[in-house]
Amino acid sequence: MSDFGLATSHVGLGLRREMLSSVLDQPQPGIDFFEVAPENWLPYGGTYQKKFRQLTERYAFICHGLSLSLGSPDPLDLDFVRQIKTFLKEHQIKLYSEHLSYCSAAGHLYDLLPIPFTEEAAVYVADRIRMVQDILEQPLVVENVSYYAAPGQELTELEFTNAVLELADCKLLLDVNNIYVNSVNHSYDALAFLKGLPTKRIAYGHVAGHYRQHDSLLIDTHGADVSDPVWVLLSEAYQHHGLFPTLLERDFNIPDMQQLQLELEHIRRLQPTDSMKLRA
């Protein structure tokens, strides 16, 4: 993992702009790294950029994009990728991740929509990931997403995900909550899915809370504490794949930092301490 500069960074937190002051004002000993959506910071100068710079000088950061729209029928916004490259360089951020989904088609759709699980779509998306990687001159990290419908499905989600990773030769952001949510909503074995992912491609992980609408319908909200079955699955992920840096996502109903720290401690407790479990 040393190529990503996260060799000693095991537990992270998604940073929203409203958290900025509290994180700057107090040391955060339980947090090894933060993740930000570059779209939320790129347009701002002045005080925000200054404060952001203070943080990036103090902590390791990852950029987790929202708008690249890897699966879109629209052309990729290559100027935007170049802006990201400059932003990463300015703040010495080593990792850039995006969703294996799309959010635009002749205009923004303001949601992360599922790419059809087909061979053709896997090749299409992988080509676009390679274009991004060629500009960035580094691997892109793509995240397995939650989805509520699978239009035109020919492959399983696992077959599709692995095909994209292989064809694009990119890295994986393993979102454990998304696996759990999808396994309930689409009736598959979460553990088998987890074990079917390629260990060597995992750059880091996400864990988050969801909303239980019904026994057979979970909504990936990032608005609640992490649920027990997701903690179990995260523990299984470490057992099977070894230690990988893991980030807590919380976008709504955000509790105070003390409460968030408890969940971060929970992540750390599950992480293997045996150095033999560290991924090469």
The residues that touch Fe ion, with contacts defined as CB under 5 A, are: 175, 206
CB atoms within 10 A of CB 153: 14
Round to whole Å and give the CA distance between 263 and 13: 10
Question: Are 26 and 257 contacting, i.e. CB atoms less than 8 angstroms apart?
Answer: yes
- Decide whether 66 or 131 has the Cβ nearer to Fe ion: 66
- Decide whether 206 or 241 has the Cβ nearer to Fe ion: 206
Q: Cα–chain-centroid distance for residue 274?
A: 25
Quote the least distance from Cβ 50 to Fe ion, whole Å: 28
Quote the least distance from Cβ 145 to Fe ion, whole Å: 8
Quote the least distance from Cβ 256 to Fe ion, whole Å: 22
Tell me which residue has its CB nearest to Fe ion: 206
Closest by Cα among 53, 140, 54, 69 to 102 = 69
Q: Are strands 202-208 and 211-214 parallel, antiparallel or unpaired?
A: unpaired
- Decide whether 49 or 235 has the Cβ nearer to Fe ion: 235
- Decide whether 14 or 242 has the Cβ nearer to Fe ion: 14
Quote the least distance from Cβ 160 to Fe ion, whole Å: 17
Quote the least distance from Cβ 34 to Fe ion, whole Å: 14
- Decide whether 128 or 222 has the Cβ nearer to Fe ion: 222
Question: Are 147 and 102 contacting, i.e. CB atoms less than 8 angstroms apart?
Answer: no
Round to whole Å and give the CA distance between 118 and 79: 28
CB atoms within 10 A of CB 154: 14
253: left (phi over 0), alpha (psi -120 to 50) or beta: left
